Amino acid sequence: MSTHNITVTVNGQTHSAEVESRLLLVHFIRENLRLTGTHIGCDTSHCGACTVIVDGRPVKSCTMFAVQADGRAVRTVEGLEVAGALHPVQAGFKEEHGLQCGYCTPGMMMTATALLESNTSPTEAEIRQAISGNLCRCTGYTNIVKAIQHAAATIRATKTETPARGVAPAGKSAATA
C-alpha cells in the first residue's frame, strides 16, 4: 500500500503525517488526530455527520482522501469554540434545542457555519436547502432551523459592533482566529 507525506492545517494547527493513499480524511481526523467530534453515519455521502470545512467550504470528510487535504485548511467542530467563547452556531443549537442525541450535530453545525459565513441573513428555505445534505433522525429539523436563525441573528448583531469571534470570513480558514 503506497503512502504519502501530507501537511494539513486543522483548526489552526499544522499536522504532518505519512498516510496510506486510501486513508479517508474522516479517519485521519478521528484516528490520527483523535478529534472524534467528526462522526461517521453512512457509506454513501448522504448523512453529512462527517461534514468539516475545507478552505471555507463544507465537505463530507468520508468522501475525501486525507491526501486530498494536503496543504489545505480544515476546520472541525473542535475549532468552533475560541478562547472559551462558544461560536454563535453552538450557542444557537443549545438555546433552541437543536440537538438530541448529538451525533449529527457536529456535521450539522459545520454546514451551518459555512452557510452563515457566506450569508448572515438566510431565509428559512435557504437554511433548509443548505442542511439538506445533513440527516438528523432525532429533531425533525424544526429546531435546527431555529438554531441556525438564532446564530444568524447573533452574528448580525455582533457584526454591527465588532467582528464575531471565531467566525472567519468566507473562503478563509480559522487558522488565524
Partner 1 sequence: MIQEPRTTPEVGGMGHSMKRKEDGRFIRGKGNYVDDIVLPDMLYMDIVRTPYPHAKILNIDTSRALATPGVLAVITGRDLEKYNLHMMPTLMSDTQMVLPTDRVVYQSQEVAAVIATSRYAAADGVAAVDVDYEPLPPVVDPYKAIEPGATLVRPDRKDTNHIWHWEAGNKDATEQVFRDADLTVSEHIYIPRIHVASIETCGCVASYDKAREQLTVYMTTQAPHAVRTVVALVAGHVGLSEERIRIISPDIGGGFGGKVPVYPGYVVAIAVSFLLGKPIKWIEDRMENLQADSFARDYHIDAELALKKDGTITGLRVKTLADHGCADAAANPSKFPAGLYSIVTGSYDIGAAHVAVDAAYTTKPPGGVAYRCSFRVTEAVHAIERLADIAAHELKMDPAEFRLKNFIKPEQFPYKSATGWTYDSGNYKAALELAMQKINYAELRREQLEKRARGELMGIGISSFTEIVGAGPSHTFDILGLKMFDSAEIRIHPTGKAIARFGTKSQGQGHETTYAQIVAEELGIPAAHVQVEEGDTDTAPYGLGTYASRSTPVAGAAGAMAARKIRDKARKIAAYLLEASEEDLEWTPGKFTVRGSPDRSKTIQEIAFAAYTNHPQGMEAGLEAVSYYDPPNLTFPFGSYICVVDIDKGTGDVKVRRFVAVDDCGNIINPMIVDGQIHGGLAQGLAPALFEEIQYDENGNIQGGSFMDYLLPTAMETPNWELGKTVTPSPHHPLGAKGVGESATVGAPPAIANAVVDALWHLGVRHVDIPITPFKVWKILREKGVSE
Phi first, then psi: what are they for 18, rounded to 5°? -100, 120
Minimum distance from CB of 172 to partner 1 (Å)? Answer: 21
DSSP class of residue 1? -
Give the β-pairing of 3-10 and 73-75.
parallel
Of 166, 138, 149, 37, the closest CA to residue 92 belongs to: 149
Integer Cα distance of 162 and 131 in angstroms: 27
Q: Binding to partner 1 by residue 37, rule CB under 8 A? A: yes
CB nearer to partner 1: pick between 46 and 159: 46
Closer Cβ to partner 1, 42 or 170, answer by number: 42
Q: Which of 5, 13, 57, 97 binds partner 1 (CB under 8 A)?
A: 97
**Residue numbers 134-153 binding partner 1 by CB under 8 A:** 134-145
Whether the CB-CB separation of 9 and 74 falls below 8 Å is answered with: yes
For the sheet with 13-20, list strands across it.
Answer: 13-20, 3-10, 73-75, 51-54, 57-60
- For the CB of residue 135, give the shortest distance to partner 1 in the complex, in Å: 5
Q: Does 72 bind partner 1 (CB under 8 A)?
A: no
Parallel, antiparallel, or unpaired for β 51-54 and 3-10? unpaired
Report the nearest approach of partner 1 to the CB of residue 109 (Å): 7
- Residues in contact with partner 1, counted by CB under 8 A, come to a total of 59
- 11 touches 75 (CB < 8 A): yes
**Using CB under 8 A, which of 6, 33, 77, 152 touches partner 1?**
77
Minimum distance between the CB of residue 55 and partner 1, rounded to whole angstroms? 20
* In the complex, minimum distance from the CB of residue 130 to partner 1, in angstroms, rounded to a whole number: 9
CB of 169 to partner 1, least distance (A): 23
- CA-CA distance, 149 to 95, in Å (whole number)? 11
Between CA 115 and CA 3 the distance in angstroms is 34
Instruction: Point out which residues bind partner 1 (CB under 8 A).
Output: 20, 22-23, 27, 30-31, 34-44, 46-47, 49, 76-78, 80-81, 86, 90, 93-95, 97, 99-106, 109, 124, 127-129, 131-145
